Amino acid sequence: MRISTLFYTLRQGIRNIFRNKLFSLASIATIGACLFLFGLFYAVLMNFQNVMNTTQEDIHITVFFELNTSEQRVREIATTISRRTEVSHVIHVTAEEAWEEFRQTLGDHAEIYGDDNPLAGSDTTPSSENIVVYINDVAQQRTLISYVDSIPEVRKINRSDFLADILSGVNSLIAYATVGIIGILLLVSIFLISNTVTIGISVRREEINIMKYIGATDFIVRSPFVIEGILIGIVGAITPLVLIYLLYNQVIGYIINNFTVLAEVFNFLSVDLIFQTLVPVSFAMGAGIGLIGSVTTVKKHLRV
Amino acid sequence: MDRHERRRRRKRQMPDDDIIITMENVSKAYSTGAPALNGVDFTVRNGEFVFVVGDSGSGKSTLIRLLLRELVATSGYINVLGYDLNKIRHRKIPKFRRNIGIVFQDFRLLKELTVYDNVAFAQRVIQVSGKEIRRNVPSILATVGLAGKYKAKPRQLSGGEQQRVALARALVNRPAILLADEPTGNLDPNNSWEIMKLMERINENGTTVIVVTHNREIVNAMQKRVVTMKRGVIVSDEEKGGYLDED
């Protein structure tokens, strides 16, 4: 394609937007709303995942063993478990180490035991020797537990189901809500762009007919409308990005100043970190919406 | 050349060197109503000037639209400039149409563009280089007598001038065939004559011209080949003919 043709196509695409101001604005506003919500949910989701990543670093299960399980066997089981993908790392806690830790908790009351280790177990009581298994992904805790539970020597598993379930549930909820709302808005955006392009085609019907008689190719006739759609999508992406950039710092600042508890618990991500992904994704989504909306319409209404 | 010879050449994809339009037993039926064309046989030689005349509904416009490959014949064979219009691939139609210039009764100029840009438009959309456009457009505007009005918008021109712009746009890509669908329909007698004289000059320079018209005076005066159509069939085809009287 000649450079002059490229510029001609671009000029025509831009002219189409201005010829059809009202619908172009409506399309830009809808794409803007869609991408604004997307950006908002994305920022929340990223921050929440950051919190989850930080929190789940502490989520672990503690595995206790049946009577007469040798320390050698416990070490073997620890090694096998540590090789699983959902496992971050495993700590083997001997009965002595368990008692040492518990002794700290008991304080002065621990003195009644003297040099004995009540957690060492006896012929009838299992020892408190255990392994602590740290998890990579909180959502995989159940899978891990069912595996560990199937090991014959395992007597008991202590776990933090409640926290894991909440974290994993909220994460899924935010993700589903994001996908649902964005899906609806994407469809509305595509529909509006399609309408804008349809009106553009009817406004330019005469010109299109002349182009066909002269011998313009399908590409030359159709491309200005596709350019129009893509430009609307890209322009639609700029406004929400600017808005989110300005709003994000304000909101985080407000939370830090007014909700100190939250600020201590949550480690908020910087806007720059969020924008590293949000900017290219928003532009790609805007251009993609424009492309899909215009290409489908042009194919339907512009049989050259 | 008889029909068998034409068929033989067609099979070899070799139309008669001199014949640039061939229609053999062409019919065109729309989804409703009587056929618009019914078994039309028609040939045009390179460099001819042909009037196609007939009442409204006689099939003239259908004939033009078939020659442009805007419509596809229901049956029969159409070859224009070596293109078999029944078999031509969709993506080759634009290239085919670049060999044909067309003007309409209502000029169909782009109102917001200047005279220069209306003509340049025809070259831009087929990706002619800017340098060639700057060379070709002034030249063709001079040919149609509008060199001094290249900056004017269509609304600032008379009907005759607008039709000249349309002619310049049709000719700027140097088509082999010029199709004119009622080119004088919206013009007064003086402007009609000027346009027809201009088309005659264009024809003398080698372009084949086919004019669909109702203008009896012009047809009778110009003494060119006249093809008369009635109810979808050709009822007469005369060299140096005239407009047939109503029966």
Per-residue pLDDT tens over the stretch A236-283: 999 999 999 999 988 888 888 888 777 776 778 888 989 999 999 999
User: What string of pLDDT tens digits covers the 247 residues of chain B?
Assistant: 555 555 545 544 445 568 999 999 999 998 776 778 999 999 999 999 999 999 888 899 899 999 999 999 999 999 999 999 999 998 899 999 999 999 998 899 998 899 999 999 999 888 888 899 999 999 999 999 998 899 999 999 999 999 999 999 999 999 999 999 999 988 898 889 999 999 999 999 999 999 999 888 899 999 999 999 999 999 999 887 677 665 4
* Cβ distance of B97 and A209 shorter than 8 Å: no
Calculate the dihedral angle through the C-alpha atoms of B221, B225, B230, B236, rounding to the nearest 10 degrees. Answer: 110
Chain B CA closest to residue A6: B127
The whole-number pLDDT of residue B14 equals 46
A56, pLDDT greater than 80? no
The whole-number pLDDT of residue B11 equals 46
If you count residue pairs, one on A and one on B, with CB atoms under 8 Å apart, how many are there? 52
3-state class percentages of chain A: helix first, strand second, coil last, to nearest 5: 75, 10, 15
Chain A: closest CA distance from residue B158 (Å): 21
CB proximity B72 to A under 8 Å: no
The whole-number pLDDT of residue B4 equals 54
* Cβ distance of A209 and B108 shorter than 8 Å: yes
Chain A: closest CA distance from residue B18 (Å): 24
A69, pLDDT greater than 90? no
Beta-carbon contacts of residue B208 (< 8 Å; ≥ 6 apart): B20, B21, B44, B45, B46, B47, B48, B49, B176, B177, B178
* Cβ distance of A213 and B94 shorter than 8 Å: no
> What ipTM was estimated for this complex?
0.81
pLDDT digits (tens, 9 = 90+) for A72-116: 888 899 899 889 888 888 888 887 888 787 777 777 777 777 777
pLDDT digits (tens, 9 = 90+) for B112-169: 899 999 999 999 888 888 899 999 999 999 999 998 899 999 999 999 999 999 999 9
DSSP string, A137-192: -GGGHHHHHHHHHTSTTEEEEE--HHHHHHHHHHHHHHHHHHHHHHHHHHHHHHHH
The pTM score is 0.67
